[in-house]
Amino acid sequence: MSQPRELVMSISLNALEHLGINLYSNMPAVLSEIVANAWDADAENVTVTVDKAKETITIEDDGMGMNRDGVIDRFLTVGFKRRETLGKITPSGRNPMGRKGIGKLSIFSISQIAEVYTIQDKERTAFKMDSEVIRKAITGNIQKPYKPEELKSVPSDLKKGTRIVLSGLSKSLSGMTVEGLKRRVARRFSVIGPKFNFKVTVNGTAIGPDDRAYHNAIEYLWIYGQQNDFVKSCKHLARDHEDRLQAIQAELSKSKISLSGWIGTVSSPSQLKDEEGDNLNRLAVFMRGKMAQEDILDEFGQKEIYADYIIGELHCEQLDLDNHSDIATSSRQSLKQDDPRFEVLRKIVLSELRHIAGKWSDWRRSDGTKTAASVPAVSAWLNNLHGDTKKKAERWIGRLNTIRSPDESDKKELLKASILAFESYRRKEELDRLENIKDENLEQILEIFQNIDDLELSYYGQIVKLRVQVIRTLQNKLKENDKELVLRDYIFEHLWLLDPGWERAKGTEHAETQVNEFLKKNSGELKGAEKKARIDIGYRTTGGKHVIVELKRASIAVPLDDLTKQIRKYRDGAKRILEKTSFKDWPIEIICLVGKPPPEWNDASGTGRKGVIESLKAVDARLVFYDELLTNAQQAYGDYLEEHAKVDKLWGVFEAINDFAPPK
């Protein structure tokens, strides 16, 4: 009878697949693990060199390094318990960041090959690890211990510490910039810099606290504990920072955790998108000077507007005490949400977010009013309001600063609309006064009506200005090949493009339906060249007139006889239908929108331009050319606006808002 097998726990090389090769999702996170190992090795200098030509990344430190036994027992041992074996404090007095001994495996999530060179007490060790060889060992039927390839020599320029060269990178370096890498590494550590005797450089440029690039965007700031250096770096604070540590000290003491750091809000959510496209709208949690979770803001489900403006760094050392279980998940990029310590932190932070939400709303409203009033024309307008109307206007204008808006131009439009709205409100108050005005006070009554006329003038001025913007946009976007398709639907609904004096008539919908049905039926009977030339036809009523608009293809010139023949059919058929309506006495005008005139247009010895115009006029029609359409409309409205600006009392206010550049 054979001897029973000994009960033995073994660790499969599959652990490398889960704990190393697939552990991390981005390059900065991997580099951060190597930088953290350098911190634990008491390094004072770490250099990161990105060589795009060779597609390699080299990380070198001047720490204590490793001898051969150290490489075997510490680096090549998965799950090496650093704090229990080497002590809870490094020889220089640092709190080590490493705990489970798996962070070093992250190098295989971005590279195929890692060459490691290390020196300790003049003993040199060098080896190469290849993830493809490891994968083959994992997939083999009989798994054997993985033995890295030993290298014969250590580079002569390595005098101290450890150098790791990563190659066969799985993530491209083409889109990576030195500045971008510096920012991302800087945001993962709070111990980089002279203050902590820990210098990290990327391609020869040192990383500093300012490389986090948060400070210049922060508008309001709440701090927890000593944060003088960070406060000084925030050059654009709209208000003095608020220290909240005292307010939460009792809760912290009861929970036996500490909290330091800061929470800030920016003036615009767009500032929380950095050059690399990273979303900085987050609250990061740090332990022992290293980011433990990139964001906990999502944990709170805050849907209010203020949450879109939040950014912060919170440091909580009690989450990583040596005599407590590890709070980090196996990915090392987040914390265990069901851990009681994390639940305590969540409760305290949620309470702070509620406080910040209230403060943010109050400050944004107040500062929004001040910012708007810094425009002299807006300030003068506010000063012309009185009593409750003025107070309501100031509060509402302040509220515009708490509305989600992708850019400042939207807020400017909201501000202009708000001014018009309050002018309407003020006119309503004046109308309410009519009941108390005596019959003989005719001047007061006329003044109220004049004010109403002024308001109507301002409204129409803004409408015209918007129309000019629409025309300019169409001019920029139209191309020769698609102009008919783009204009087709738009012209039928916006006849002011054909004539600024035209507006849609009301109450004519039934007649429009009948005439349009007739025109469509008639259009369906077209054949050959006539059908090919037609884009569309439509009918509208406007300004006491019946208007039929026919669109011809820009590339086709329709002979005059064919054109007038079609027009007579439209006109006579429409007349028969309109005879039965109350609009039968309105004149009919037919507009042919064309790219090219009839061939007779350029016949100097025959019909000619004048003859074409007269022939079409005889059948109540005229030509409008695509290329002239928008230009003529823009000119007409431009002339109107030039005169309008002289009489519109709010025009100057709106122009001042458009020209106002808010402080950055």
247 and 284 co-located in one domain = yes
User: In terms of domains, do 313 and 271 share one?
Assistant: yes
Task: Compare 35 and 650 and report the one with higher pLDDT.
Answer: 35
The tens digit of pLDDT for each residue in 154-168 reads 898 999 999 999 998
Choice between 342 and 118, residue whose per-residue pLDDT is larger:
118
pLDDT in tens, 429-466: 665 665 665 555 556 555 655 666 677 777 777 777 77
Domain ranges, residue 415: 374-477+628-664
Q: Which of 206, 224, 240 is the last residue of a domain?
A: 206
Q: What is the per-residue pLDDT across 477-512, written as a single tens digit (0 to 9) for each?
A: 655 545 666 666 677 667 677 776 665 444 445 556
**pLDDT of the residue at 501:** 64
- pLDDT greater than 80 at residue 37: yes
Of all residues in the chain, what percent carry a pLDDT higher than 70?
75
One domain for residues 185 and 63 = yes
Residue-level pLDDT at 523: 64
Task: For residue range 503-557, list pLDDT tens digits in order.
Answer: 544 444 555 676 667 667 766 666 676 666 554 677 777 767 888 888 888 788 9
Give me the amino acid identity at 388: D
Report the distance separating Cα 167 and Cα 190, nearest Å: 28
Pick from 1-15, 167-181, 310-324 the range whose average pLDDT is largest.
167-181
Q: What are phi and psi of 22, to 5 degrees?
A: -110, 20
> Cα-Cα-Cα-Cα dihedral of 12, 16, 22, 24, to 10°?
140
Percent of the chain with pLDDT over 90: 24
Does 476 have pLDDT greater than 80? Answer: no
Judge whether residue 333 has pLDDT over 60: no
Q: How confident is the model over 267-295, as a mean pLDDT?
A: 85
H or E segment to which residue 477 belongs: helix 442-477
The domain that holds 161 is classified in CATH as 3.30.565.10
354 or 639, which is more confident: 354
For 534, phi and psi rounded to 5 degrees? -80, 135
Instruction: Specify whether 60 is located in the same domain as 164.
Output: yes
Closest CA to 96 of 48, 20, 39, 51: 39
Question: DSSP string spanning 623-643?
Answer: EEEHHHHHHHHHHHHHHHHHH
What integer pLDDT is reported at residue 89 of this predicted model?
A: 85
> Quick one: three-class SS letters along 536-569?
EEEEEEECCEEEEEEEECCCCCCCHHHHHHHHHH
Average model confidence (pLDDT) across the chain: 79
Q: What is the pLDDT of residues 366-381, one digit of tens each?
A: 888 888 888 888 888 8
Q: Which of 166-180, 222-236, 250-264 is modeled with the greatest confidence?
A: 222-236
Most confident of 3-12, 277-286, 327-336, 532-541: 277-286
Cβ within 8 Å of residue 71, ≥6 positions away: 116, 118, 125, 127
Q: Assess if residue 573 is contained within a domain.
A: yes
Taking the C-alpha atoms of residue 3 and residue 315, their distance in angstroms, rounded to an integer, is: 56
The lowest-confidence range among 36-45, 472-481, 558-567 is 472-481
Domain shared by 249 and 337, yes or no: yes
In a domain, 249, yes or no: yes
Same domain, 488 and 461: no
Give mean pLDDT, residues 266-280.
84
Residues 23 and 157 in one domain: yes
Residue from 560, 624, 556, 553 nearest 590 by CA: 624
Structural domain tally of the chain? Answer: 4
Q: pLDDT, tens digit, for every residue of 208-249? A: 888 988 888 999 999 999 999 999 999 999 999 999 999 998
Residue 113 has pLDDT above 90, yes or no: yes
Residues paired with 223 in a beta bridge: 243, 262
At which of 151, 172, 206 does a domain end? 206
Q: Does residue 138 lie in a domain region? A: yes
According to the per-residue pLDDT averaged within each range, which of 93-97, 313-317, 613-617 is highest?
Answer: 613-617
Q: What is the pLDDT of residue 504?
A: 46
Instruction: Please report which confidence band the pLDDT of residue 406 belongs to, taking 50, 70 and 90 as the band edges.
Output: low
Based on the fold, state whether residues 31 and 165 are members of the same structural domain: yes
